[in-house]
Amino acid sequence: MKDKILIFIITYKASYRVKKVVQKIPFRYFKNKNFKIYISDDDSKDDTINYIKQIKKKYKSKVLVNFNKKNVGYGANIKKCINYAYKNRFSYAVMIHGDNQYDPKYSSIMIENLIKSKNLNATVGSRMTNKMDAIKGKMPFYKFIGNIFLTGIFNFLNDTKFTDCHTGYWAYNLKLIDKETFKNLDNNFCFDIDLRLKLISEKKHIREIPIKTFYGTERSSVHLIYAIRFFLKTITFKLFN
C-alpha cells in the first residue's frame, strides 16, 4: 500500500486566495500518490468559507474541510491538521498557507525529498537561499533585514547553517517525528520556531528547499512581537538545553 500524503491548507481571512492556492497544487505529481487535501479554516468572518465550499464541490472526496467554531490561533490550527494526519495514518504532510504567499508548486519537491531520504525528518521552504529572490518577491525591507539578523543569531547560538528561520512552509515525515513532538508547541505565531528548536533538541534532520515567494500589500502588526518572542525563545533554548 502506498504511503499516504496529506496536503493541508490553513486559512484565516484568505478569501479568494485559497482557491488560487488549490489551483496551484502540482496535481501532476500527486495524482499517482495516495493523497488528500485538508483545509482548516480558523473561524474566518469574511467570504473564505464560501470559497472553501466551492473547492469542496469541485474536488469532492479528495478535499476534506474543517471549520473551527472559534479562532484557536495559527499554531493550534496547524496542530488540528497534524492530529488529523496522525489519526488517519498519513506518512507525510505538507503545510500550505491559504493566503497564497508560498507557492504550492514546491510542495512536490518538499515531499519527494522526504520520500527519498531515509533519515530526513522535515523540509522547509527557504526564501533566503537566494536573497535577491526575496527582494524580487517584494519582501518588505524591514522583514528582509530582520530575517537575516535573527537567523544569524539562531545559527550562532545553535551551530546551524539555516538561511531562513522564519518560514511557514513545512513538510513533515510523520514516520520519523513522534506525535508528542507537536503537543506543547506554541498555539500562535511562534509555532514554527518552537518546532525548529524542538527538532534540533531531538537531533532531527531539517533540510531547506529554495523557494520564491510573493508579498502583497498586507501588513501585520505582529512582526515586532514575533521578533521579540523569537529572540527570547532562541536565547532561552540556548541557556536551558
Of the candidates 110, 66, 111, the one whose C-alpha atom is nearest the C-alpha of residue 91 is 111
Tell me the C-alpha distance between 141 and 158, whole Å: 26
What structural domains does the chain harbor?
A: 4-240 (3.90.550.10)
Cβ pair 58, 26 in contact under 8 A: no
- Specify the pLDDT at position 238: 83
Mean pLDDT of 136-157: 90
Cell of 65: 474541510
Cβ pair 77, 9 in contact under 8 A: no
Q: Is the pTM of this model over 0.85?
A: yes
Tell me the C-alpha distance between 90 and 115, whole Å: 13
Mean pLDDT of 184-198: 96
- Specify the pLDDT at position 222: 58
Residue 218 has pLDDT above 60, yes or no: no
Residue 217 has pLDDT above 90, yes or no: no
Task: Name the amino acid, one letter, at 219.
Answer: R
Give the phi and the psi of residue 234 in degrees, each rounded to 5.
-65, -45
Mean pLDDT value across the chain: 93
Write out the H or E segment, with its range, that includes residue 124.
strand 122-126
